[in-house]
Amino acid sequence: MKITVVGTGYVGLVTGTCFAETGNQVTCVDIDVNKVNKLSAGQITIYEPGLEKLFERNLKEGRLNFTTDLEKGISEAKVIFLALPTPPGEDGSADLSYILGVSEKLGPMLKDYKVIVDKSTVPVGTADKVHAAIAKNAKVEFDVVSNPEFLREGVAVEDFMKPDRVVIGTQSEKARKVMGDLYAPFVRQGNPIIYMDEKSAELTKYAANSFLATKISFMNEIAILCEKLGADVDMVRRGIGSDDRIGKRFLFPGIGYGGSCFPKDVQALVKSSQEVSYSFRILDAVMDVNEKQKLFLLPKVNAYFSNNLKGKHFALWGLAFKPNTDDIREAPALYIIDALVNAGATVSVFDPEAMPNVKGVIGDKVAYAENQYATLENADALIIATEWSVFRTPDFDKIGSSLKHKVIFDGRNLFDVAHMQELGFHYESVGRLPAKS
Ligand SMILES: NC(=O)c1ccc[n+]([C@@H]2O[C@H](COP(=O)([O-])OP(=O)(O)OC[C@H]3O[C@@H](n4cnc5c(N)ncnc54)[C@H](O)[C@@H]3O)[C@@H](O)[C@H]2O)c1
Ligand SMILES: O=c1ccn([C@@H]2O[C@H](COP(=O)(O)OP(=O)(O)O[C@H]3O[C@H](CO)[C@@H](O)[C@H](O)[C@H]3O)[C@@H](O)[C@H]2O)c(=O)[nH]1
């Protein structure tokens, strides 16, 4: 099938590449000339495990191409995906200007029947708005489908190729058939395509992200309680996670959820609720807990250094909002850096992939180390903000001998507390009693 993906960011590039991988002819459109030039020249623009190989193969075999020309890009397509940004507006609601702007342009460009698919995360009712924006100037028949995307960064290719489910919101039989054919190769293992109306599909996406964010904030509060009561959150997590009704996943406490999705989507659902005079109280609490959680380690750091961080130097491992991505949107590490620097401390950082992005945002506010151990030179303590695998079994002798104080503040519970005690570290984590040196 010939398809076009408008917007070639995290979702668009993964979507386009994976559809090309199943034999479709894919054109990706983006307004960013630099991005399109790079991609056309075979240079991948995001770090996403497994994507580069698929991207190179499909580009080489001619199933994937890139353009800035929307009209040319959509001319032969049967299906047009919109994978455009929906950032939070000033009041927290989703900004639909990208989606509706492109939709208005599409109207006069349509020459034959097309299915226009909204893959971006958008509030309930957006499919109707997209339909109206296109219809203003369209002379041919078209359908608008809501097909929210559930991929996670870092495992995006796997999530796309083997989705738990595909949600397709449409009331058009014709569009349903087209979408079913397109997704058939991705649901061969019995994972379902769930067909529903557009509004339910739109809400499904926000409900999924908000529920997952709720699980995380819930566990972060349990972790706080564990510390106060002398319990161990790892034990509690395992104790509740083995109940099928609760499930093992998304119960890991830490220094809060970040990324481009949970923070903005929870906020947007709260805003949508307010618009229909409903106060979604659970989500207010979820956001509030998460705001505080990002700086969960700071009181511990302050207490260790007697509330005086002036002149102290910290090593910080991990900048991306989660491992296996270079994405730093709403990354807790950035909040920690701010707090440390505002308190008069200096910071030396390392992240396997995200350092160029951080440098682009905060410049020389921190020092960028060549590897994780180089951050430790002259550092008073080590802080861990992201659970990259490479941080999981480090050389503790090297850490101990490099740091001025044998102290680690771990926001992702990477190490065994008793082991750290044996090694003589002062080790503080989330929801577990500290190991005292
Ligand atoms: N990132 C994720 O993991 C993820 C997962 C599921 C859903 N989503 C949702 O998907 C949508 C896209 O997210 P993303 O992370 O891919 O965003 P992104 O910022 O990485 O990519 C958006 C792309 O759209 C391009 N663009 C902007 N205006 C354009 C225009 N007028 N014409 C053509 N291209 C244009 C930008 O240049 C950029 O390349 C959002 O609604 C997001 O909430 C994201
Ligand atoms: O037990 C957990 C799991 C995750 N996190 C944090 O939650 C955030 C989000 O993680 P994750 O969901 O793995 O990454 P995203 O790429 O943001 O993916 C989410 O957001 C996407 C965009 O909407 C959706 O498509 C995905 O289904 C949804 O998982 C990160 O900061 C994680 O550190 C925790 O603190 N504890």
- Span 256-292, pLDDT tens digits: 999 999 999 999 999 999 999 999 999 999 999 999 9
Residue 337 DSSP class: H
H or E element, residue 428: strand 426-428
Sheet holding 166-169, edge to edge: 64-67, 25-29, 2-6, 79-82, 114-118, 142-146, 166-169, 193-196
Amino acid at 184: A
Same fold, 2-196 and 205-293: no
326 CA to centre of ligand 2 in angstroms: 14
Q: How far is the CA of 224 from the centre of ligand 1 (A)?
A: 35
Q: What is the DSSP letter of 436?
A: P
Lowest mean pLDDT among 67-76, 90-99, 114-123, 215-224: 90-99
- Is domain 298-428 classified as CATH 3.40.50.720? yes
In the predicted model, is pLDDT for residue 124 greater than 90?
A: yes
Cα angle 362, 255, 119 (rounded to 5 degrees) comes to 75
Atom of ligand 2 nearest to the CA of 208: 27
Q: Which residue's alpha carbon is nearest to atom 14 within ligand 2?
A: 152
- CATH superfamily label, 2-196: NAD(P)-binding Rossmann-like Domain (3.40.50.720)
Question: Given pLDDT bands bounded at 50, 70 and 90, which one contains residue 92?
Answer: confident
Q: Cβ(330) to ligand 2 under 6 A?
A: no
Q: Rounded to an integer, what distance in angstroms lies between the CA atom of residue 432 and that of residue 115?
A: 52
Q: Which ligand has an atom closest to residue 290 CA?
A: 2
CA of 225 to the centre of ligand 2 (A): 23
Cβ–ligand 1 distance for 266 under 6 Å, the answer no
Nearest-angstrom CA–CA distance, 298 and 317:
15
Residue among 5, 10, 32 to mutate when testing ligand 1 (max atoms within 8 A of CB): 10
Range name among 89-98, 333-342, 345-354 with the lowest pLDDT average? 89-98
213 lines ligand 1 (CB under 6 A): no
What mean pLDDT is predicted for residues 404-426?
97
The arithmetic mean of pLDDT across residues 114-134, rounded, is 98
Tell me if 251 is assigned to a ligand binding site: yes
C-beta of 261 in contact with ligand 1 (< 6 A): yes
8 CA → ligand 1 middle, Å: 7
Atom of ligand 1 nearest to the CA of 152: 3
Report the SS3 class of residue 143: strand
pLDDT at position 250 over 90: yes
Q: What mean pLDDT value characterizes the chain?
A: 97
Q: Percent of the chain, pLDDT > 90?
A: 98
Closest ligand by atom to 83 CA = 1
CB proximity list for 431: less than 8 A, separation 6 or greater: 222, 223, 224, 226, 227, 232, 233, 234, 236, 253, 413
Residue 243: pLDDT above 80?
A: yes
Q: Model ipTM?
A: 0.98
User: How do residues 17-58 score in pLDDT, each as one tens digit?
Assistant: 999 999 999 999 999 999 999 999 999 999 999 999 999 999
Task: State yes or no: 392 annotated in a binding site.
Answer: no
255 lines ligand 2 (CB under 6 A): no
Q: Is 258 annotated as a binding residue?
A: yes
Which atom in ligand 2 lies closest to the alpha carbon of residue 153? 16
**Is 261 an active-site residue?**
yes
Q: How confident is the model at residue 369 (pLDDT cuts 50, 70, 90)?
A: very high
pLDDT band at 255; cut points 50, 70, 90: very high
> What pLDDT band is residue 434 in, cutting at 50, 70 and 90?
confident
Per-residue pLDDT, 436: 83
Q: Please give the share of the chain, as a percent, with pLDDT higher than 70.
A: 100
Distances from the Cα of 211 to the Cα of 218, 265, 283, 300, 304, angstroms: 10, 11, 9, 29, 35
50-65 per-position pLDDT tens digit = 999 999 999 999 999 9
User: Does the pLDDT of residue 437 top 80, yes or no?
Assistant: no
**Per-residue confidence band for 86, with pLDDT thresholds at 50, 70 and 90:** very high
Cβ of 152 less than 6 Å from ligand 2:
yes
Evaluate if residue 85 carries a pLDDT over 90.
yes
**150-169 pLDDT tens trace:** 999 999 999 999 999 999 99
Find the mean pLDDT for residues 296-310. Answer: 98
Handedness of CA 347, 352, 357, 359 (dihedral sign): positive
- Evaluate: CB of 258 within 6 angstroms of ligand 2: yes
Grouping H, G, I as helix, E, B as strand and the rest as coil, residue 407 is strand
Point out the catalytic residue in the list 18, 28, 226, 261.
Answer: 261
On whether 151 is known to bind a ligand per the annotation, the reply is: yes
Residue 213: band (very low, low, confident or very high) from pLDDT cuts 50, 70, 90: very high
Parse the chain into domains and list their residue ranges: 2-196, 205-293, 298-428
205-293 classified as CATH 3.40.50.620: no
Q: Is 146 in the pocket of ligand 2 (CB under 6 A)?
A: no
